[in-house]
Amino acid sequence: MASGSLAILFFCTLSPLLLLSSAQTCSSFSFTSKRSYTSCIDLPYLEAHLHWNYTPSTGKISLAYRAKQSSQGWIAWAINPSRAGMVGSQALVAFRNTNGSMTAYPTSITSYSPSLLPGSLSFQVSNISAEYLDNEMTIFAVLGPLEDATTVYHVWQAGSTVLNNIPQGHPLSPPNLQSTGTLSFLSKK
């Protein structure tokens, strides 16, 4: 009896919190480690969010891409300077290294079966790092200047497997094939 009512009390106390967290949007998210971003967007697939600060005078974009992921998986976010879609993407990828630390690096996607090894991109990238917290992976980086920051194609992706510190292919299910869009770094939310 006593434990039954305790369980009910616990559930009633917890459920508003659960509702709150599932409804949480990017604008109410706060980063640890004193990072803050003026703009953000909740992406429609793969439980992903992009946060950024755009500095018009330098053309630099400081960003954080975060997405739900297991500790064995990988996440990636990319700008495609030429077209919508995967091939040609200038990507940032992150995963947990076999040594336990989070690893993030740029990689350029040149085919539909790319080897996601570190590489250079068609624009500058600096200050890249990653963290894993609350079942989310986050990539932090500073990009740019870009040729055009007002309209870019972007693509985001996730996969469940990393082998010998190399992210492996992603599922071909609808969310993983629909995770592309256009973005203006000048917009605020």
| Contacts with ligand NAG, residue ranges (CB under 6 A) | 62, 97, 99, 101, 103, 126-127, 142
With respect to ligand NAG, which residue has the nearer C-beta, 121 or 177? Answer: 121
What minimum distance in Å lies between the beta carbon of 188 and ligand NAG?
Answer: 19
Coil/strand/helix, residue 185: coil
With respect to ligand NAG, which residue has the nearer C-beta, 50 or 155? Answer: 50
Q: Residue 28: which H helix or E strand, with range?
A: none
With respect to ligand NAG, which residue has the nearer C-beta, 24 or 165? Answer: 165
What minimum distance in Å lies between the beta carbon of 55 and ligand NAG?
Answer: 8
Coil/strand/helix, residue 9: helix
The DSSP bridge partners found for residue 143 are: 61, 125
With respect to ligand NAG, which residue has the nearer C-beta, 149 or 155? Answer: 149
What minimum distance in Å lies between the beta carbon of 20 and ligand NAG?
Answer: 31
Number of C-alpha atoms within 13 angstroms, CB side, residue 49? 20
With respect to ligand NAG, which residue has the nearer C-beta, 75 or 130? Answer: 130
Cα 64 to Cα 82: distance, rounded to the nearest angstrom:
22
With respect to ligand NAG, which residue has the nearer C-beta, 101 or 178? Answer: 101
Of 105, 113, 118, the residue nearest 172 (C-alpha): 113
Residue 67 near residue 49, CB atoms below 8 Å: yes
Instruction: Give me Rg for the CA atoms of the chain.
Output: 18
What minimum distance in Å lies between the beta carbon of 34 and ligand NAG?
Answer: 11
The amino acid at residue 52 is: W
Say which residues have a Cβ less than 8 Å from residue 86's Cβ, sequence separation at least 6. Answer: 80, 109, 112, 155, 157, 180
What minimum distance in Å lies between the beta carbon of 36 and ligand NAG?
Answer: 12
What minimum distance in Å lies between the beta carbon of 62 and ligand NAG?
Answer: 5
